[in-house]
């Protein structure tokens, strides 16, 4: 793959997406950085990066972004599916609309964008698809069933896709960040809306929100910076012979190793020690 392969990145308004766009731009790649609100991309535009509105729940906006790269460069050389958010609610209380919205953003959007870029990648006989998953693609704690299930799904799709497109010269890579110092925690807490009267999970929601807001996503507890995460994403996107997966941070590596090695009962015990649980009665 050319070191100047054109790049399309989603979710560039802040955090890992923003830092990855900057890093690839500084390496000389033509970058199209996208986000739902184009005003959030003003800082990247000031750096000389091409920006554009893209909503991963809007097929027309995805098609338009891909068409722009293909018009300018022939094909998307590197697609980085980064846009996502985390719905964190008990399974019993999450509404159907909330669940569908979670899957629309975290699964169906990335899949549709992949479908848009693949014809030109196949014709060029080269390309790279980098799907930003999470350490949550390998386990699921209390309160995270729907967010983590989207990352499980993205990893399963990536595994199939990696084999399907390899004969066409296209490589597929999964990146699995652990806790990062980004806006993710705040967005996750925002989804833990106030419980209704008599909600048996009220105390659980409050404790989970406190954990995410004040402890999990801190340097003290092993969270890494967006710049550190971006370095791994850039490596996954540009190294000539990428691995299938790249974990980011000691927390991600430790927890995913534990999930792989421990029996379910033992790993459940780890989750019970690390996360709040509802109080029966």
Give the catalytic positions in this structure: 13, 133, 147, 151
Rounded to the nearest 10 degrees, the angle between the axes of helix 145-165 and helix 96-103 is 30
- List % helix, strand, coil for the chain (3-state, nearest 5): 55, 15, 30
Nearest to 7 by CA among 38, 52, 42: 52
Q: How far is it, in rounded angstroms, from Cα 69 to Cα 32? A: 7
Q: How far is it, in rounded angstroms, from Cα 118 to Cα 276? A: 43
DSSP-assigned letter for residue 251: H
Helix/strand/coil for 139: coil
Q: How many residues does the chain have?
A: 281
Confirm if 41 and 9 have CB atoms less than 8 A apart. no
- 236 burial type by CB count under 10 A (0-12 exposed, 13-18 middle, 19+ buried): buried
């Amino acid at each position: 793959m050319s070191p100047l392969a054109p790049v399309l990145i989603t979710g560039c308004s802040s955090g890992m997406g923003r830092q990855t766009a900057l890093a690839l731009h500084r390496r000389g790649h033509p970058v199209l950085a996208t986000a739902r609100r184009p005003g959030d991309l003003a800082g990247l535009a000031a750096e000389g990066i091409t920006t554009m509105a893209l909503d991963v729940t809007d097929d027309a906006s995805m098609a338009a972004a891909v068409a722009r790269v293909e018009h300018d460069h022939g094909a998307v050389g590197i697609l980085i599916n980064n846009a996502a958010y985390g719905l964190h609610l008990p399974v019993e209380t999450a509404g159907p609309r909330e669940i569908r919205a979670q899957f629309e953003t975290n699964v169906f959007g990335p899949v549709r964008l992949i479908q848009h870029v693949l014809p030109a990648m196949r014709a060029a006989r080269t390309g790279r698809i980098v799907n930003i998953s999470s350490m949550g693609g390998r386990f699921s704690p209390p309160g995270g069933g729907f967010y983590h299930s989207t990352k499980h799904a993205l990893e399963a799709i990536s595994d199939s896709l990696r084999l399907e497109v390899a004969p066409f010269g296209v490589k597929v890579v999964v990146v699995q960040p652990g806790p990062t110092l980004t806006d993710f925690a705040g967005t996750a807490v925002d989804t833990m809306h106030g419980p209704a009267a008599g909600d048996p999970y009220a105390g659980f929601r409050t404790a989970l929100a406190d954990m995410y807001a004040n402890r999990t996503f801190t340097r003290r507890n092993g969270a890494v910076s967006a710049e550190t995460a971006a370095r791994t994403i850039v490596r996954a996107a540009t190294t000539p012979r990428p691995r299938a997966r790249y974990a980011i941070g000691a927390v991600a590596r430790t927890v995913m190793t534990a999930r792989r090695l421990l029996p379910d009962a033992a790993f459940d015990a780890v989750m019970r020690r690390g996360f709040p649980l509802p109080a029966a009665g």
